[in-house]
Structure 1
Amino acid sequence: MSRLKGVAERDPRVGFRAERRDCGASVPQGLLKAARKSGQLNLSGRNLSEVPQCVWRINVDIPEEANQNLSFSAAERWWEQTDLTKLIISNNKLQSLTDDLRLLPALTVLDIHDNQLTSLPSAIRELENLQKLNVSHNKLQILPEEITNLRNLKGLYLQHNELTCIPEGFEQLFNLEDLDLSNNRLTTVPASFCSLSSLVRLNLSSNQLKSLPAEISGMKRLKHLDCNSNFLETVPPELANMESLELLYLRRNKLRFLPEFPSCRLLKELHVGENQIEMLGPEHLKHLNSILVLDLRDNKLKSVPDEITLLQSLERLDLSNNDISSLPCSLGKLHLKFLALEGNPLRTIRREIINKGTQEVLKYLRSKIKDDEPSQSDPVTETAMTLPSESRVNVHTIVTLKILDYSDKQTTLIPDEVFDAVKSNIVTSVNFSKNQLCEIPKRIVELKEMVSDVNLSFNRLSSISLDLCMLQKLTFLDLRNNFLNSLPEEMESLIRLQTINLSFNRFKILPEVLYHIPTLETILISNNQVGSVDPQKMKAMEKLITLDLQNNDLLQIPPELGNCVNLRTLLLDGNPFRVPRAAILMKGTAAILEYLRDRIPT
């Protein structure tokens, strides 16, 4: 072998380069060999402070094996190697890239996120085949003008840098579909930038923008626009003409008025929480025919108009932390899956009803519509509202509201007379909260054919009896503030359960049975000792929308949790993990899931 190598050094006709380019332990030869066959090389998380020459020259230099052995099988012929099309060098310590980048002209994907880059080389203009460029989580202060030469670019990810401006000519990236400029220092968006007519997703959140250009309406294909956490006081009226817009995020700005959207017929989600909006009128609602999610939390709203019923597609409405003192009864006509009202000085609806959750509030509002309708009945109907104070069971709530309420009695046992009072009436809700129950009343099984909501919160339950598992029409179950550390497998039979509240208990893991209830939409398990979740099983829970894991013992968040794309609300504050950082958590669920997906090992 040494003789052949010597020949190679003396005789240039052999065609082998004399110089040996050793990559060292950071890039094993086997990895390079595989990359020549697949066209893909992943050097993520290898503590690299610079990119080894053998990487840049992978398609230029003769493989090390060829220098050592001239006898190649047909499958190993280096001259038939595949050009490198995908290079991942993320999560390293790179401070710069050299112009040797031009030696990889076939690249379609270049991923260099989570490094310490302060600039990009001008040679990047020669990567004309590049379709995806990820330079997020670096220290870029300026983009080279040469980046506008990447005409085939479809995805450009520049979030978490120190950019203060967008280079001239950016509109030349006419194939760009996905652009993320979040968490930079941008103060303006140039009008020319809005000529990116192929753009589908644009993230401008967490910058220093005070306005958006009117020309933004030129982005005819834009579906997702995120302007959270800026200094916007208004949005241009032209925004309302973006016919393709489906998701609009304007949280944490300085908006005083809700925009009107006459042309945004496809708008499904509107997030304007944490602003200074004072009024919600019919004119703001009449065009939101397709809206599914409306987030108005942390504003200064004083009322909700009766015209809220125009939003017939609405599924999630967040009104928390406003100045709302009353709700229109017409709100009960909507088919909401989630309604948040916390932090409002509501006077027309009792706190205990609000605490029971969305469906109970809607049911109450619907009942008030009937109560408010003109009636021909005599005064007896009115006096029937008042029951003798000595009565231990509120028969009125059973008859009119279909609620069996025996809460806040501090009793250790539910008396038989409570169940006897039901008689032949239909009961859909049971409230035994704020007692001293150590076990679930056995007679609750008598209601299995009708009850859908059960509240057993603030008791002393340490286990769940199989009687509860018989309530197959159950959709809402509140078990918070008990002593539970497990749930029985038999709860899998609750085939209609949509919401379960397990907060303030003693769970150390997410109960296994929850993964097997496919109808679950909301899991609240904050303030426990949960140390892990199974992201693969959770991904299979296709209807899960809300997952509250705040104040638990999670030391790490599995990146695969990012694949749970159906989640609209993921709460992780108050856990001892270090990644994702608090800045990511503040951006909300979509940002958290995207961050996690970016960290799934390839």
Structure 2
Amino acid sequence: MSRLRGGGPASGRGRVPLNPRAGFQKPAAKDVSGGVSSALLKQAMRSGQLNLSNRELTTVPDSVWRINIDVPEEAKSVSMDKTEDGWWEQTDLVKLILACNKLQEISNDIQQLPALTVLDVHDNALTSLPPAIGELLNLQRLNVSHNKLTSLPTEIFKLRHLLTLHAEFNDLTAVDEGIGEYIHLEDLNLSHNKLTTLPYTIGQLGKLKTMNISENQITLLPSTMGLLKAVRILEASNNKLPEIPTEVGDMKSLEQLYLQHNVLTALPLLRACISLKELHAGNNRIVVLSPDHLEHLTTVNVMSMRDNKLNEIPDEIINVRSLQRLDLTNNNISSLPNKLGTLTSLKSLVLEGNPMRGIRRDIVSRGTQGILKYLRSRIEEEPSTKDATDGPSASDPSSAMGVVAAVASKTLDYSNKKATEVPVTLWEPAREADVAVVNLSKNAFTQVPPNLILLSKTVTELNLGFNKLSTLSVELQMMVNLVHLDLRNNAISNLPSEWTTFSKLREINLSYNRLKEVPAVVFTWTQLENLILGDNQIGIIDVPSLKKLPKIASLDLQNNDIMQVPPELGNLETLRSLQLGGNPFRTPRPAVLAKSTAALLAYLKDRIPT
């Protein structure tokens, strides 16, 4: 049998080699309990912090509760030659992290750690907290989130020095009035529970800066919310709130307000929220965004009103000068105020899901800056400042100079005056001058000036656009020489059937009115070449009637309510310009509409059933 050098026997299978240094090595650190080593506890004694997260713990070892009490093993054999790491230099435990384990309870022995300032037990299976937690009078930060707590013990409200309380993702159904004792609390998170209301004492949290009560079933907020003068962020989304108390408008430090996914029908008046930067109120039932609301939102950068029932945006939106993002997705908005275009800070305007009639689809597709540019282009010119002198002015129609200025070169121009009627001093001079062009646009007429009939024999061009006309005078039938008629931007829903006398009319502009169909009288004007009907509420294209217009060359039906384009429209061979964008029909597709009129007509003609 062969032997190894030195006379020892050869190593056989299964035999463990001898360790020649075994008698000189310190034994390995022994697990005290549940995977917590003595070395880890020793380190915690020096640092005052113990992190036992993610250790699959089902209970907390007794050695953890007694860490400030038990004398370390080395203290039993103190050597004067070894002074480092002396047990007498031990620090009381101030931070204990037990997160992400499988703890079902916390022992009352926790009271043996009175120096704790931070306790984190989130992500466990706790159904209750021990009453002894109230003995941790130095506690400043408590995290009990992501457990199964149904209530908080009343003793917890003895923790008067608490700065942070996180209890989100539990099964809490109520919060005790004792929460008002947290006069130093700065951060409160009660989200993702089963709360239906909050105690009135919540208003006593005078130093609270962040409050999250989202994802509950809250139907009522206490009026004492208005006392929370230090709150900067209020997150109350995903509840069942039908209204917000007006006192919330007194939260003067509020910077971010989240109210989305409730059942609100109106916003609160945020009258004192002078620091508000973000307002999120989407997914509610809000019908009106009133000028009163906008008056107090001058500092807002982000406003989300998506998925509500808004019908319009008032001109006062321009008061929100700092607005950078405005989300109006999925409302009932058909047009935007032109003054919105003056908000130079606006970088994002989201309009998808609205029945936009006031802006063509191709303009909306250009993005925010394209829309704003379009709106700016439609802002009416302000009337010129009157002459400050006491003498007669060229803008004064009662003076000789004013008459000459208004009636010149066979034109009566009394436009852009914001007037409700035409001065009587202008009619006779206009009649004597045989005026052919009358421009009364950009005023505030609610009816056609009756004296206009005095010019019926000579007028060929009449502009009554940008007024407030809802009905039109039958007597205008006497203007048999009309060639051009401009009635855009009024409130017209029909035309008098007696206007069949307009046998010379070649162009009529009826855009931006309230027509639901093309007035029947239009199809009697056999000389008509240009028919402009954009931005109304017209629902069908009456091809048989359009065929009665043998000279029709331009047809504008943009931004109406047309659901279907009849292929027979392709047979109108006189058409040189056909505008159909901005309607809810699916075919022709936008790519086809973007092509030339000839290509569009050919596309339609190819689809006529044989």
TM-score bracket, normalised by the shorter chain, equals: 0.5 to 0.7
Once the two structures are superposed, residues 255-302 of structure 1 have per-residue CA deviations (whole angstroms, 9 ceiling, x without a partner) of: 101211222212221111100001111111011121111110100001
Shift in Å at residue 210 of structure 1?
0.8
Shift in Å at residue 184 of structure 1?
0.6
Q: Look up the SS of the partner of 1:228 in the other structure.
A: coil
Please say if 1:182 is aligned against 2:188: no
Partner in structure 1 of residue 347 of structure 2: 337
Shift in Å at residue 73 of structure 1?
3.3
Please say if 1:250 is aligned against 2:250: no
Q: What pairs with 1:373-452 in structure 2 (closer than 5 Å)?
A: none
In structure 2, the gaps of 5 or more residues are: 1-28, 384-414, 417-438, 442-460, 464-483, 487-506, 510-589, 592-610
How far apart, CA to CA, are the structure 1 residues paired with 2:255 and 2:146? Answer: 27
In structure 1, the gaps of 5 or more residues are: 1-19, 386-433, 436-602
How far apart, CA to CA, are the structure 2 residues paired with 1:56 and 1:98? Answer: 9
Distance 1:71 1:161, change over 3 A: farther
- The answer as to whether partners of 1:57 and 1:103 remain within 8 angstroms in 2 is yes
Code of the residue aligned with 2:157 in structure 1: it is T
Partner in structure 2 of residue 124 of structure 1: 133
- The answer as to whether partners of 1:22 and 1:54 remain within 8 angstroms in 2 is no
Residue 358 (structure 2) aligned to one of 348, 353, 356: 348
Code of the residue aligned with 2:156 in structure 1: it is I
Residue 327 (structure 1) aligned to one of 336, 341, 345: 336
Partner in structure 1 of residue 375 of structure 2: 365
Shift in Å at residue 326 of structure 1?
0.9
Residue 192 (structure 1) aligned to one of 201, 206, 218: 201
Residue 310 (structure 2) aligned to one of 289, 301, 307: 301
Distance 1:275 1:167, change over 3 A: same
Aligned residues: percent identity?
51
How far apart, CA to CA, are the structure 2 residues paired with 1:192 and 1:223? Answer: 19
Structure having the higher Rg: 2
Distance 1:70 1:102, change over 3 A: farther
Once the two structures are superposed, residues 233-269 of structure 1 have per-residue CA deviations (whole angstroms, 9 ceiling, x without a partner) of: 1111111122222221111111101211222212221
Residue 113 (structure 1) aligned to one of 101, 122, 130: 122
How far apart, CA to CA, are the structure 2 residues paired with 1:76 and 1:161? Answer: 42
Distance 1:73 1:345, change over 3 A: farther
Code of the residue aligned with 1:191 in structure 2: it is Y
- The answer as to whether partners of 1:324 and 1:346 remain within 8 angstroms in 2 is yes
- The answer as to whether partners of 1:246 and 1:268 remain within 8 angstroms in 2 is yes
- The answer as to whether partners of 2:264 and 2:285 remain within 8 angstroms in 1 is yes
Aligned residues between the structures: 372
How far apart, CA to CA, are the structure 2 residues paired with 1:161 and 1:141? Answer: 7
Q: What pairs with 1:535-574 in structure 2 (closer than 5 Å)?
A: none
Distance 1:76 1:313, change over 3 A: same
How far apart, CA to CA, are the structure 1 residues paired with 2:372 and 2:78? Answer: 78
How far apart, CA to CA, are the structure 1 residues paired with 2:166 and 2:360? Answer: 48
Distance 1:259 1:63, change over 3 A: same
How far apart, CA to CA, are the structure 1 residues paired with 2:150 and 2:239? Answer: 19
Residue 146 (structure 2) aligned to one of 109, 131, 137: 137
Residue 262 (structure 1) aligned to one of 271, 283, 305: 271
- The answer as to whether partners of 2:229 and 2:250 remain within 8 angstroms in 1 is no
Residue 222 (structure 1) aligned to one of 216, 227, 231: 231
Code of the residue aligned with 1:338 in structure 2: it is S
- The answer as to whether partners of 1:256 and 1:275 remain within 8 angstroms in 2 is yes
How far apart, CA to CA, are the structure 2 residues paired with 1:169 and 1:306? Answer: 47
Partner in structure 1 of residue 162 of structure 2: 153
- The answer as to whether partners of 2:30 and 2:37 remain within 8 angstroms in 1 is no
Partner in structure 2 of residue 278 of structure 1: 287
- The answer as to whether partners of 1:149 and 1:172 remain within 8 angstroms in 2 is yes
Code of the residue aligned with 1:168 in structure 2: it is E
Once the two structures are superposed, residues 406-441 of structure 1 have per-residue CA deviations (whole angstroms, 9 ceiling, x without a partner) of: xxxxxxxxxxxxxxxxxxxxxxxxxxxx99xxxxxx
* TM-score, normalising length: structure 2: 0.57
Partner in structure 2 of residue 75 of structure 1: 84
Partner in structure 2 of residue 558 of structure 1: none
Please say if 1:51 is aligned against 2:47: no
Once the two structures are superposed, residues 144-181 of structure 1 have per-residue CA deviations (whole angstroms, 9 ceiling, x without a partner) of: 00001000000000001000111232211111111111
Partner in structure 2 of residue 14 of structure 1: none
Shift in Å at residue 352 of structure 1?
3.8
Code of the residue aligned with 2:372 in structure 1: it is L
Code of the residue aligned with 1:62 in structure 2: it is V
Distance 1:55 1:282, change over 3 A: same
How far apart, CA to CA, are the structure 2 residues paired with 1:318 and 1:43? Answer: 45
Distance 1:148 1:332, change over 3 A: same
Code of the residue aligned with 2:32 in structure 1: it is C
Residue 34 (structure 1) aligned to one of 34, 43, 48: 43
Distance 1:27 1:281, change over 3 A: same
Distance 1:354 1:157, change over 3 A: same
Distance 1:366 1:87, change over 3 A: same
Distance 1:354 1:62, change over 3 A: farther
- 4+ residue runs of structure 1 moved beyond 6 angstroms? 370-380
Once the two structures are superposed, residues 200-222 of structure 1 have per-residue CA deviations (whole angstroms, 9 ceiling, x without a partner) of: 11111111111111111122222
Shift in Å at residue 21 of structure 1?
9.3
- The answer as to whether partners of 1:21 and 1:53 remain within 8 angstroms in 2 is no
Distance 1:356 1:42, change over 3 A: farther
Code of the residue aligned with 1:121 in structure 2: it is P
Once the two structures are superposed, residues 105-155 of structure 1 have per-residue CA deviations (whole angstroms, 9 ceiling, x without a partner) of: 111111111111000000101110000000011000010000010000000
Deviates more, 1:169-178 or 1:116-125: 169-178
Shift in Å at residue 198 of structure 1?
1.6
- The answer as to whether partners of 2:149 and 2:172 remain within 8 angstroms in 1 is yes
- The answer as to whether partners of 2:34 and 2:61 remain within 8 angstroms in 1 is no
Partner in structure 1 of residue 96 of structure 2: 87
Q: Look up the SS of the partner of 1:208 in the other structure.
A: coil
- The answer as to whether partners of 2:74 and 2:87 remain within 8 angstroms in 1 is no
Once the two structures are superposed, residues 549-579 of structure 1 have per-residue CA deviations (whole angstroms, 9 ceiling, x without a partner) of: xxxxxxxxxxxxxxxxxxxxxxxxxxxxxxx
- The answer as to whether partners of 2:229 and 2:251 remain within 8 angstroms in 1 is yes
Shift in Å at residue 355 of structure 1?
3.5
- The answer as to whether partners of 1:137 and 1:160 remain within 8 angstroms in 2 is yes
Code of the residue aligned with 1:94 in structure 2: it is L
Partner in structure 1 of residue 326 of structure 2: 317
* TM-score, normalising length: structure 1: 0.57
How far apart, CA to CA, are the structure 2 residues paired with 1:73 and 1:37? Answer: 16
Q: Look up the SS of the partner of 1:240 in the other structure.
A: helix
Q: Look up the SS of the partner of 1:202 in the other structure.
A: strand
Shift in Å at residue 27 of structure 1?
1.8
Distance 1:188 1:25, change over 3 A: closer
How far apart, CA to CA, are the structure 1 residues paired with 2:191 and 2:37? Answer: 36
How far apart, CA to CA, are the structure 1 residues paired with 2:30 and 2:177? Answer: 40
Distance 1:69 1:344, change over 3 A: farther
Q: What pairs with 1:514-529 in structure 2 (closer than 5 Å)?
A: none
Q: What pairs with 1:163-182 in structure 2 (closer than 5 Å)?
A: 163-182=172-191
